[in-house]
């Protein structure tokens, strides 16, 4: 919805292809799909499972490819999150964000972005659910380069201490449904509550990219004035519009002569 309504507001014509409409990499190779779409569209936002699929699309396409979501990163969500915090606090530099939950694609994008904006990042994940080693190494390099703090722990209260923003996400991502019972056991104690926020800064706020489950954050926090989740959801529209305008401004489509 954020992409379709946003692109329509810009005067574009959005086309939504579900898994029933396009069997990416199955019925047709990602290479062929990228080349075909390059002749039909001006820009593509792709939500995929494997990040390598995005890399193949980007390599073979002659039009901009946006990572709408992959198993490794979710960058457009982070644009919306930081816009939301900028609106609320009036700044980003010097803020401390605490992630409490799974070491997933959203966290990876936080780790690739926070230091560049002067944001300190504190991360609590259960043992066995840590972020990817390669992402940790790059985040540590960025933190050192930009002079920010990066803390990794398995203790939610340690991560929340002195924080401005508490963030979590689903504990069971797409493709992990069979692991649900085990994950719920392993994430016991990671629910964000007022108790979690008791060690944060007095004006702490809460983010969640949705959809939310009560085990991740209780109603008292989720529906409280501290919660920025609904402005955060709306901001996906405005940030994706800005991203598409930026990419299309640098892209000159090839002129095609009509065929009869």
Q: How far is CA 67 from the centre of its chain?
A: 10
- pLDDT tens per residue, range 94-144: 999 999 999 999 999 999 999 999 999 999 999 999 999 999 999 999 999
Per-residue pLDDT tens digits for 4-43: 999 999 999 999 998 888 877 677 889 999 999 999 999 9
CA–CA distance, 33 with 15 (Å, rounded to integer): 15
Does pLDDT of 251 surpass 80?
Answer: no
- Positions annotated as catalytic residues are 209
Of 180, 48, 161, nearest to 105 by C-alpha is: 48
- Non-local CB neighbours of 24 within 8 Å, separated by 6+ positions: 30, 33, 46, 48, 53
Cα radius of gyration (the chain): 20
- Per-residue pLDDT at 116: 98
Statement: residue 257 has pLDDT above 50: no
**Model's pTM, two decimal places?**
0.92
User: How does pLDDT run across 185-195, given as a tens digit for each residue?
Assistant: 999 999 999 99
Q: What is the mean pLDDT of the segment spanning 176-193?
A: 90
Give the residue among 138, 106, 137, 110 at the shortest CA–CA distance from 122.
Answer: 110
Residue 49: is its pLDDT beyond 50? yes
Mean model confidence pLDDT for the chain: 93
Q: How confident is the model at residue 72, as a pLDDT?
A: 96
Tell me, letter by letter, the H, E, C secondary structure of 1-25: CHHHHHHHHCCCCCCCCCCCCCCEC
- State how far the Cα of 53 lies from the Cα of 47, in Å rounded to an integer: 10
Mean pLDDT across 214-225: 97
What CA–CA distance (Å, rounded) separates 74 from 201?
27
Q: Give the pLDDT score at 260.
A: 44
pLDDT tens, 51-69?
A: 999 999 999 999 999 999 9
């Amino acid at each position: 919805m954020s992409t379709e309504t946003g692109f329509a507001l810009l005067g574009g014509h959005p086309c939504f292809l579900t898994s029933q409409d396009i069997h990416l990499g199955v019925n047709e190779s990602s290479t062929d799909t990228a080349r075909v779409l390059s002749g039909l569209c001006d820009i593509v936002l792709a939500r995929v499972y494997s990040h390598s699929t995005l890399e193949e699309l980007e390599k073979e396409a002659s039009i901009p490819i946006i990572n709408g979501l992959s198993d490794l990163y979710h960058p457009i969500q982070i644009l919306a999150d930081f816009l939301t915090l900028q609106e609320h606090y009036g700044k980003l530099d010097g803020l401390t964000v605490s992630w409490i939950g799974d070491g997933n694609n959203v966290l990876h994008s936080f780790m690739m972005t926070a230091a560049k904006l002067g944001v300190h990042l504190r991360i609590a994940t259960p043992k066995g659910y840590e972020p990817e080693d390669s992402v940790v190494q790059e985040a540590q390099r960025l933190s050192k380069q930009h002079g920010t703090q990066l803390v990794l722990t398995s203790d939610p209260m340690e991560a929340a201490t002195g924080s401005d923003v508490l963030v979590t996400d689903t504990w069971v991502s797409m493709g992990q449904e069979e692991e649900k019972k085990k994950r719920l056991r392993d994430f016991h104690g990671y629910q964000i509550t007022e108790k979690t926020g008791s060690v944060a800064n007095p004006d702490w706020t809460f983010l969640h990219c949705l959809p939310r489950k009560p085990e991740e954050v209780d109603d008292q926090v989720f529906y409280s004035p501290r919660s920025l989740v609904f402005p955060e959801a709306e901001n996906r529209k405005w940030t994706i519009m800005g991203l598409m305008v930026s990419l299309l401004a640098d892209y000159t489509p090839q002129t095609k002569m009509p065929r009869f």
